[in-house]
Amino acid sequence: MIHIAIFASGGGSNARRILEHFQNHPSIRVALVASNRKAAFVLEIAAEYGVETFVISKNMLTQPAEHPDLSEKLTKLGIDYIVLAGFLVLMPKELVHLYNERIFNIHPALLPKFGGQGMYGKHVHEAVYAAVQAGTETESGITIHLVNEFYDKGAPLFQAKIALQRTDSPSEIARKVLTLEHHYYPQTIENQILKDNLKI
């Protein structure tokens, strides 16, 4: 069995889709849902699915050598892959190295456009909206990519696009993009994990 941990900071609608997708999977199981916010709704969703939860403190991310609780937890549960689903803080480089090419992220735009530090959630959709109004963009979409030490810079695995109209508000753009995320993220995770493991 291959074990996944989902990391999420907030609402967890992607996390829910991923939990649903792998619920009865023959070889992939979600074994942990972790959040850097102890009140994040995603932890309640995990409990609904009977999946263990974990709260990541700031120290575990910024001083992982002194606060190794997160990597110890991942090791104890035999986590093979980490899936970021709206995890809005930078992953420590120790973890990126430990899980080299085994951490996935979803970004709500077509990277390399509209990415980088501070570009998350509504900030992305507002920037895309401004570009559509200025006539420099006519579309947006999603990027699923591997995670490295830099925000939104890892190798892309999958992109999907949607056309935008000038009448689309930032929240309408967000809604359209989220629909794509829900549709493609779980299957892309599954495809990538199975592809990796067929290589062995």
Residues with catalytic roles: 107
């480089």: which residue's tokens? 93
At its nearest, how many Å lie between ligand GAR and the CB of residue 196? 22
Among 6, 7, 14, 192, binds ligand GAR (CB under 6 A): 14
**Would you count residue 125 as binding ligand GAR (CB under 6 A)?**
no
Closer of 28 and 45 to ligand GAR (Cβ): 45
Identify the residue among 108, 141, 154, 186 touching ligand GAR (CB under 6 A). Answer: 108
Q: Which residue has the tokens 């899980």?
A: 99
Distances (CA, A) of 27 to 22, 23, 30, 190: 9, 11, 10, 10
Residues 23-58: b if buried by 16+ CB within 10 A, e if exposed = eeeeebbbbbbbbbeeebbbbebbeeeebebbebee
Residues 23-82 interacting with ligand GAR (rule: CB under 6 A): none
Interface residue with ligand GAR among 4, 12, 35, 102 (CB under 6 A) is 12
Binding part of the chain for ligand GAR, among 54-62, 106-114, 132-140, 186-194 by CB under 6 A, reads 106-114
